[in-house]
């Protein structure tokens, strides 16, 4: 069996590396490396945004949650689906237009700096630091998922298995930058969707649709647990609130900025939302199929997908489906590495130290950053008992609370000021960090919720209290002019 599975993995990896090589040859400058020259079509933009969003947790964490706790996880899926749609609907077009009109900004920190005419560089630095901190945690969650995959499939010790996954991601991200990441993510999105459709269909064709087989009565109750106890309001709000995180995820927002035209954004909204809905439905059905198939509890619920594939499929098809997990892991980790590289290269190195640096030098620094962040993430992911979903939840909340309110208000509220933006990023991120380490009572609420709320309030208060000096007023006039140009394009 392992030979067939290995063959499928090798074919998949060769395809990914081939895409990376082609992208390498088309990467001429930092704009290409970081944002693909803003020439992504609707299909690639939508699929790569979806794949970079739905990391290994889609095939490991979410099915594991459904398998172990029943359809409580449906609240999480519904929140994510709504968040996906609203992100495309509310943010995508405006960010594409305004990031271009504000001096062709390539990164979120650069956009915020130019949106608020921050000559001090402080806002850009704070944004870049927040990105590096949470993305390192986020990337490590992907490496944990990769370690579990290779360990379960090939019996490779966890630490070596994690290293194999990291090396694979590193190679093509290092080579091709944004184009490699986007093209491979689009390919991987299709593989993930195929996997999530095939596995539950096959499982139910074998077991039938008798959902009472071996499943507790409360499994399908979305309001009560298996013992009949009602879920707390905090619990349901926490799961649904995952959708708020979309507005602040730099690796997803980068796809909006890189889309070729507004017409492509509109098409991508339909494609991306449809892909997300189908993928989430497939992951939920995988968890249900696992609950029916396995009579005894699995030691690690997050491996339910892996064990279903192993039990039901021909080894070659099994290898293709397991490669889907690797695709989910790689499609998010590569995007995170690239955004981290852009934050350090564009928002630290060039902005603060080497504004005269050549394009060749900047691309080199970007590639070295990819390597550095990978090494730190490997260190954080060294514990095999780490839960993928827990690590993703922390980083997801950090980005959602730090950048979500700041970005939305920056796109819609002309009177928002630089102190307001700084307050929003800092209060959102710090609230998540502090809240995460408190327990009991209200602190059981997902840190995204208080972080997002406090960040929004801080932005409004600090923006309204900012003294309207001549300099601020002059900047406000420049902002209004740019907004009018952007709105005219919309």
Q: How far apart are CA 211 and CA 293, in angstroms?
A: 10
Residue 186 has pLDDT above 80, yes or no: no
User: What pLDDT, in 10s, does the model give residues 332-352?
Assistant: 776 677 777 777 777 777 767
- Find out whether 66 and 291 touch, Cβ atoms under 8 Å: yes
pLDDT of residue 331: 63
Position with higher pLDDT, 473 vs 403:
403
Tokens of 24: 């390498």
**Is the per-residue pLDDT at 404 higher than 80?**
yes
For the domain that residue 26 is a member of, what is the CATH number?
1.20.1730.10
* Highest-confidence segment of 226-240, 259-273, 445-459: 445-459
The whole-number pLDDT of residue 23 equals 64
Dihedrals φ, ψ of 230, to 5°?
A: -70, 140
pLDDT at 81 exceeding the cut of 90: yes
pLDDT band for 212, please (50, 70, 90 cuts): low
Domain containing residue 82: 2-489
What is the spatial distance between Cα 178 and Cα 33, in angstroms, rounded to a whole number?
Answer: 5
In this prediction, what percent of the chain has a pLDDT beyond 90? Answer: 18
Q: Which of 274, 269, 268 shows the shortest CA–CA distance to 193?
A: 274
Structure tokens at 372: 């550095």
Q: What is the pLDDT of residue 309?
A: 83
How big is the chain, counted in residues?
490
For residue 208, give the 3-state DSSP assignment: coil
Per-residue confidence (pLDDT) for residue 72, from 0 to 100: 85
Considering only 57-66, 241-250, 282-291, which range has the smallest mean pLDDT?
57-66
User: Per mean pLDDT, which range of 179-193, 272-286, 446-460 is the poorest?
Assistant: 179-193
In whole angstroms, what is the distance from residue 392 CA to residue 374 CA?
A: 16
pTM comes to 0.82
pLDDT for 410 beyond 90: yes
* Long-range contacts of 212-215, Cβ-Cβ distance < 8 Å, separation of 24 or more: 213/292, 214/291, 214/292, 214/295, 215/291, 215/292
Q: What is the pLDDT of residue 408?
A: 95
| Residue 163 to residue 169: CA distance in whole angstroms | 10
User: 224 forms bridges with which residues in the sheet?
Assistant: 230
pLDDT of residue 370: 75
Radius of gyration for the alpha carbons in the chain, expressed in angstroms and rounded:
22
Mean pLDDT, residues 174-178 taken together: 57
Task: Tell me the CA distances in angstroms from 312 to 12, 277, 371, one per residue in order.
Answer: 21, 25, 38
Q: Which residues contact 238 (CB under 8 A, 6 or more apart)?
A: 444, 445, 446, 448, 449
Under the banding of pLDDT at 50, 70 and 90, the label for residue 456 is very high
State the Cα angle at 285 between 281 and 288, rounded to 5°: 145
Burial state string for 120-143 with b = 16 or more CB within 10 A and e = fewer than 16: eeebbbbbbbbbbbbbbbbbbbbb
CA distance linking residue 163 with residue 156, whole number of Å: 11
Q: pLDDT at residue 315 above 90?
A: no
Q: How many CB atoms lie within 10 A of CB 297?
A: 10
Residue 206's pLDDT band, with cuts at 50, 70 and 90, is confident
* 224 DSSP 8-state letter: B
Query: Confidence class of residue 11 from pLDDT cuts 50, 70 and 90?
Result: confident
The answer to whether 324 and 59 have CB atoms below 8 angstroms apart is yes
pLDDT at 87 over 60: yes
| 248 three-class SS | helix
Q: Quick one: average pLDDT of 218-231?
A: 76
Quote the number of domains for the chain: 1
For the cut 60, the answer to whether the pLDDT of residue 388 exceeds it is: yes
What's the pLDDT at 119?
Answer: 82
Distance spanning both ends of the chain, measured CA to CA: 54
If DSSP states are collapsed to H, E and C, what string results for 137-200? HHHHHHHHHHHHHHHHHHCCCHHHHHHHHHHHHHHHHHHHHHHHHHHHHHHHHHHHHHHHHHHH
Categorize the per-residue pLDDT at 80 as very low, low, confident or very high, splitting at 50, 70 and 90.
very high
Q: Write out the two tokens for 450.
A: 């208080």
> How high is the pLDDT of residue 262?
79
pLDDT tens digit sequence for 30-44: 555 555 555 666 777
Tokens at residue 222, please? 């979305």
pLDDT > 80? residue 201: yes
């Amino acid at each position: 069996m392992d030979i067939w599975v290995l063959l499928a993995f090798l074919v998949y990896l060769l395809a990914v590396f081939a895409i990376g090589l082609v992208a390498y040859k088309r990467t001429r400058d930092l704009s290409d490396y970081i944002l693909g020259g803003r020439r992504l079509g609707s299909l690639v933009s939508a699929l790569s945004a979806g794949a970079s969003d739905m990391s290994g947790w889609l095939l490991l964490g979410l099915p594991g949650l459904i398998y172990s706790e029943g359809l409580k996880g449906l609240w999480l899926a519904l929140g994510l689906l709504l968040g996906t749609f609203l992100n495309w609907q509310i943010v995508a077009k405006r960010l594409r237009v305004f990031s271009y009109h504000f001096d062709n900004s390539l990164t979120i920190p650069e956009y915020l700096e130019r949106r608020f005419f921050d000559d001090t560089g402080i806002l850009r630095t704070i944004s870049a630091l927040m990105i590096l901190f949470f993305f390192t945690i986020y990337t490590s969650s992907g490496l944990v998922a990769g370690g579990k995959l290779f360990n379960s499939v090939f019996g490779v010790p966890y630490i070596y298995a994690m290293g194999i996954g990291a090396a694979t991601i590193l190679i093509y991200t290092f080579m091709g930058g944004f184009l490699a990441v986007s093209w491979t993510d689009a390919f991987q999105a299709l593989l993930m969707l195929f996997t999530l459709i095939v596995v539950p269909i096959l499982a139910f064709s074998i077991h039938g649709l008798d959902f009472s087989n071996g499943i507790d009565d409360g499994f399908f109750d979305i309001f009560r647990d298996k013992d009949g106890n009602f879920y707390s309001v905090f619990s349901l709000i926490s799961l649904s609130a995952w959708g708020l995180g979309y507005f602040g995820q730099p690796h997803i927002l980068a796809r909006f900025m890189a889309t070729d035209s507004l017409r492509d954004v509109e098409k991508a909204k339909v494609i991306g939302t449809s892909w997300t809905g189908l993928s989430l439905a497939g992951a939920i059905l995988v968890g249900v199929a696992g609950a029916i198939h396995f009579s005894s509890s699995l030691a690690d619920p997050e491996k339910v997908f892996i064990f279903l594939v192993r039990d039901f499929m021909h080894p070659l098809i099994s290898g293709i489906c397991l490669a889907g997990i690797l695709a989910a892991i790689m499609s998010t980790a590569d995007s995170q590495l690239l955004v981290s590289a852009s934050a350090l290269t564009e928002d630290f190195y060039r902005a603060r130290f080497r504004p005269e640096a050549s394009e060749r030098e900047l691309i080199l620094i970007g590639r070295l950053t990819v390597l550095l962040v990978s090494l730190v993430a490997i260190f954080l992911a060294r514990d095999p008992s780490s839960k993928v979903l827990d690590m993703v939840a922390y980083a997801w909340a950090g980005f959602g609370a730090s950048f979500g309110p700041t970005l939305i208000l920056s796109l819609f509220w002309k009177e928002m000021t630089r102190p307001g933006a700084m307050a929003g990023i800092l209060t959102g991120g710090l609230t998540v960090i502090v809240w995460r380490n408190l327990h009991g009572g209200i602190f059981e609420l997902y840190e995204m919720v208080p972080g997002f709320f406090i960040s929004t309030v801080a932005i409004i208060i600090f923006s309204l209290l900012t003294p309207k000096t001549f300099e601020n007023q002059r900047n406000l006039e420049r902002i209004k002019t740019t907004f009018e140009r952007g709105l005219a394009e919309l």
